[in-house]
Structure 1
Amino acid sequence: MRFASIAFVFGVLTACSFEAATAQLAAPFGELVARSDGHFHRFQLEVTIRGKDAREHFERVDQAYIAKLFKQLDGNRDGALNESEARKAPAPRLDTDLQTSANANVAFNFRVMDEDGDGTASAEELRSYYDFFKSSDYQVVVRDQTAGIESIALTDFLDANRDRKLSIAELAAARDLLKLDLDGNDVIDGDEFRSASETVRPEFVARTNHSAGPLQFTGKRRIGGVADFRLVVDFPANARMPTLKVIALPTGDSAVITMGAKGEAFMLLDDTRLRIRALPDPARLHEQYKNSMLKEYAAAMQSGRVRNTDQLGELLRERFRAIDSTGDEVLSVNELESYVNQLIPQQIEHSASKIQVTASSTGTSLFDVLDTNRDSRLAVRELQAAAVIAKRIDTNGDGVIQETEVPRSVEITIRRTSMPIPYQVGIPDPGPPWFARMDRNRDGDLSAAEFLGGLGLFRRADKDGDGLIDLAEAMLIEAAND
């Protein structure tokens, strides 16, 4: 069957191992549905946090956060919030654009919080107030993200025998394209490809196999029906990579499934190639907030006091009223330390109590297939993996990639939502902060030249010996030091 259009309706998923199963299904977190001409491929999704049901975990986290917040706001310790104390509460945020972290704050209205009209707000009323504005516990972001370099003809550079076909052997030599890297940053961008050839032919793209238009995506909480596949995701403790089991159900449809060695899965549904991967939480987020807020405090310190009228840094300015538990318009170091040690950890965990799925339609060219991190460049790892990827899409197994074998590409990433990293714009980088800082060319890997820990440590960290430290290997370092 050829997909005329595929719509993905989903909750949550991610990547790590495949198994056939007949086990009884647990209550799903949500569903992923691939739709084409009235035919549905259903994926039942289960999500756990540290081995516990995700929704139960989110409920416990929500209760713990509200309890800590109430205690922080209740300055006179009378077990209720008066209007002045309640005004210190962080404004509820309406999630409007998860990709850009653009959110709308809700104006405070004490009468809305004080449901029984007794002039105070109880802990239950505080929680009810936030619950009113709370969005779903999973969110779907849909993007049509193409490489934008359709004019790059990789066959001009890889087709050694000029037969307009690419053999596995020719693709195995893709790393030799690094000779085109004019600026020496270990990635090849469109300008570097174009500068290597005055005349560039149209890209090597899939043709006759594609009867469908561009992929279309929608997100819904739950679709009923018998599942074909089961996706089981666990987000473990900090400094660990998420895991996934892909289980083909005996009553379901069949599909070509390949499990990657680095926590990702590949599925070929007709002529559409799905790459599924999970991203870890940002590591050491509490440490980053604590250090940043203490630095802001030290910078604002005058005569041993930090007042609300001072030129405060962004983090203290946004949280001043909540940190000032006595309401005297002065922050003591004890108030600040209590806040960063007691409430910030709860805020971080509370912000991670949703699952975010991003689905990206990533084009139909060979460049799109090889550009796995979707940055419109080809990096060392992507060039090294060219032959492996080619074997996955060589549907007839003849060792040659025909134009009709290049599939459409769809990438699905899964992560827990997160508080923004201090002073960083956009979606937080997953994994350890040192990994993001060292990755100077932003290709998602550390070369020996980028790594600042010495060659001996680099070689120990590079578990697979491919000359690069990837996110999974960085998480192993982080876990060892946790």
Structure 2
Amino acid sequence: MKRFLLSLFAATTSALAAAEPPLAPSRGLPRPTGPRGDAFVLGAVAPPQRSLQRVLPAFQYDAKTAFPDTLEIVYLANARPIHVRVTLKVNGKPLHEVWQAHLRKLFDAFDRDHDGSLNRFEVENIFSPKGLSGLLGGTYYHGAGDDGKSLEDLDRDADGRVSFAEFAAGYTEAAADLVRLRSLALDDSVDQALTKELFQRLDANGDGKLSKAELAGAESILLALDTDENETLSADEVRSVPKVTADFPGMVQPAPTPPKQPERDPNLELYRGPIPGTVVQLMLKKYDANKDFALTRAEIGLEAEAFAKLDANGDGKLSAAELDGWRTTEPDFTAVVDVVQDYAKRFAEMKPRGGKLPAGCELRTGENGRVVLRIGNQLLDISTATPPPGAIALRTTEQLNSAYPTDKQVVTENDINGPQFQFLRVVFDAADLNGDGKLTKKEFRQYLELQEETIALALSASFATRRPSLFQLLDDNGDNQLGVRELRTAWQRLIVLEPTGGDAVTQAALQPSAAVRLGFAAFAGQDYSLPANMFAKPGARKQVAPLWFHKMDRNGDGDVSRAEFLGPREKFDELDTDHDGLISAAEADAQDKKLRAKK
């Protein structure tokens, strides 16, 4: 009898314990992957098994609709407004597919019993929505202040489990940080000082204009400053020569007063979603010359067909209500930009609406992920950046070495006492991927890689406007040197940018242009190419020419001069078919093809 009573007492206690909500075990012990099983009561008859009825339908999630992978660029150029819709790719795949694949990898990592759903205990270890947003911002996740990741927060259909669709939907708001907009205010004071210097040297009569005759003399004037005698002129060579002035005879002119901090240009904006209605007010402020709160076709610069579609009442003016249709219609251009980790595989392309370029626009597509749209005398430059090689693996290794005991391959919580292991102690249970209460170095590396891959996935869209220097406009191939051919062609390249339509080039030709740089957010601070010469022609450096040409072209300006040519004068004259004193890459390639044909 005593044995029977003890058995009955033990069974009753087990039954009461089973009625309580399951509790997580103490830290450092094996972690369960699900609730405890029902207790077995001695002598009790098992109740009939009834299938649970789902109260709500299974939760559905449309990844593409929930996360659009497009950016809207609005550039209010002087000649007309431009709307470009950019579709983003990462390593050749649409951004929303890349995001979904990464969420699936996170889900599978935390689904420790591999049953295709997360239970209450498994949900404890996932990244919270706030934590995931922090990872996309470049901050490691440690689990402090976790909110929004309980079973009740994620279980949309109330079936007691979290499906992948529910898991992905829980990060919808955090996914807004996947593409981070980074507006830059660029200081162009140095460029303007260089422009002033060049204008003064080229403007022989001092009237503030550069005539055709004055630019024709650019070669002789500027190459006189070629101190290193390499037949090209650098910006430093222009600045380094003292200039005699009336106020300071024989002395260098004093440096100008430093300008105030540059401000953000409202004429260039990027949006992750639909273009807001505030753009209409910006357009009126920009283009409404007579301040009548309406825009004529002459003011806004749109082609006749596009203007007529917006002018609903046909009065020849666009009111604010009619102008609002501009932001909701199809964009002027669509672009595809592929942000990749391999420098050689960068890609960007842009196409006009209907396949026809608007009047006054020119589209240049370059190599290595760059497109340039010219709108009048301004440019919109869209390009991509790549992270430094091996940067992602390096971050993981550094974090692993600093957080995990160097002399161990497996640790328990008793092994990680001390402030140097604080991060490891906080993430111990989450990183213990098999839940056995022991954390191997391999498990910790895998957990770090989940964080690193999330950090590395975030993109940045840096954008800014910059007024070019005269030096940059002359530097046609973007090599930061002015070669002889660039100086000889200065007039025909500059006069087309002159907005006055006159017979001379003024500083009005140097209008601010826009640049958008897309890359991985974790390395945006290491990308210094946005402020570089966005005014050079894309792909201008790539020239097809025989090897001897590139070896003789010692200054890299794309031409071989008489001084650089190592052969006899007669051979130089034979190769210089246009007799301009320079052998171009095309001339060298033509001669090489002739020789190969004879063989």
Q: TM-score range by the shorter chain?
A: 0.5 to 0.7
Equivalent-residue separation in structure 2 for 1:98 and 1:305 (angstroms)? 26
Match of 1:88 among 102, 116, 125: 125
Offset at residue 332 of structure 1 (A): 0.9
User: Corresponding residue for 2:378?
Assistant: 272
Q: Secondary structure at the match of 1:335?
A: helix
Offset at residue 129 of structure 1 (A): 1.5
Q: Name the larger-Rg structure.
A: 2
Offset at residue 194 of structure 1 (A): 10
Structure 1's unaligned 5+ residue stretches are 1-26, 180-185, 204-212, 373-379, 422-426, 431-435, 445-460, 469-482
User: Corresponding residue for 2:517?
Assistant: 413
Q: Which amino acid aligns with 1:123?
A: F
Q: Which amino acid aligns with 1:334?
A: K
Residue 432 (structure 2) pairs with residue 324 (structure 1):
yes
Match of 1:334 among 408, 431, 442: 442
Q: Secondary structure at the match of 2:526?
A: coil
1:32-431 alignment, distance < 5 Å: 32-35=73-76, 40-52=81-93, 54=94, 58-77=95-114, 80-93=117-130, 107-109=146-148, 110=150, 111-116=152-157, 120-135=161-176, 138-149=179-190, 152-156=193-197, 160=201, 163=204, 164=206, 165=210, 167=215, 169=219, 173=223, 176=226, 198-200=252-254, 215-220=266-271, 221-222=273-274, 223-235=327-339, 238-248=342-352, 249-250=355-356, 252-260=358-366, 263-296=369-402, 299-301=405-407, 305=411, 307=413, 309-312=417-420, 320-327=428-435, 330-339=438-447, 343=450, 347=454, 351-352=457-458, 356-363=460-467, 365-366=469-470, 381-384=479-482, 387=486, 392-395=493-496, 402-415=506-519, 417-418=520-521, 420=522, 427=524, 429=526
Q: Secondary structure at the match of 2:168?
A: helix
Equivalent-residue separation in structure 1 for 2:221 and 2:363 (angstroms)? 22
Offset at residue 116 of structure 1 (A): 4.8
Equivalent-residue separation in structure 1 for 2:156 and 2:80 (angstroms)? 48
Identity over the aligned pairs, expressed in percent?
16
Equivalent residues of 1:43, 1:231 under 8 A apart:
yes
Equivalent residues of 1:41, 1:253 under 8 A apart:
no
Q: Secondary structure at the match of 2:107?
A: helix
Offset at residue 360 of structure 1 (A): 0.4
Structure-2 change in CA distance of 1:274 and 1:172 (3 Å): farther
Deviations 1:159-205 (A, max 9, x none): 546625573537975994899xxxxxx996999899997424879xx
Equivalent-residue separation in structure 2 for 1:267 and 1:466 (angstroms)? 29
Structure-2 change in CA distance of 1:122 and 1:271 (3 Å): same
Equivalent residues of 2:136, 2:455 under 8 A apart:
no
Structure-2 change in CA distance of 1:383 and 1:400 (3 Å): farther
406-415 or 288-297: bigger deviation: 288-297
Q: Which amino acid aligns with 1:429?
A: Q
Equivalent residues of 1:323, 1:336 under 8 A apart:
yes
Offset at residue 323 of structure 1 (A): 1.9
Of structures 1 and 2, the one scoring higher in RCO (CA 8 A, sep 6+) is 1
Q: Secondary structure at the match of 2:393?
A: helix
Structure 2's unaligned 5+ residue stretches are 1-67, 245-250, 258-263, 275-326, 534-549, 558-599
Q: Secondary structure at the match of 2:172?
A: helix
Equivalent residues of 1:29, 1:45 under 8 A apart:
yes
Equivalent-residue separation in structure 2 for 1:273 and 1:171 (angstroms)? 29
Offset at residue 45 of structure 1 (A): 3.5
Q: Which amino acid aligns with 1:407?
A: Q
Structure-2 change in CA distance of 1:29 and 1:66 (3 Å): closer
Deviations 1:14-70 (A, max 9, x none): xxxxxxxxxxxxx99454343469954343434444554x2xxx3333333233222
Equivalent residues of 1:72, 1:322 under 8 A apart:
no
* Larger helix fraction of residues: 2
357-366 or 154-163: bigger deviation: 154-163
Equivalent residues, number: 380
TM-score of the two chains, using structure 1 as the length reference = 0.58
Equivalent-residue separation in structure 2 for 1:314 and 1:138 (angstroms)? 31
Equivalent-residue separation in structure 1 for 2:237 and 2:430 (angstroms)? 47
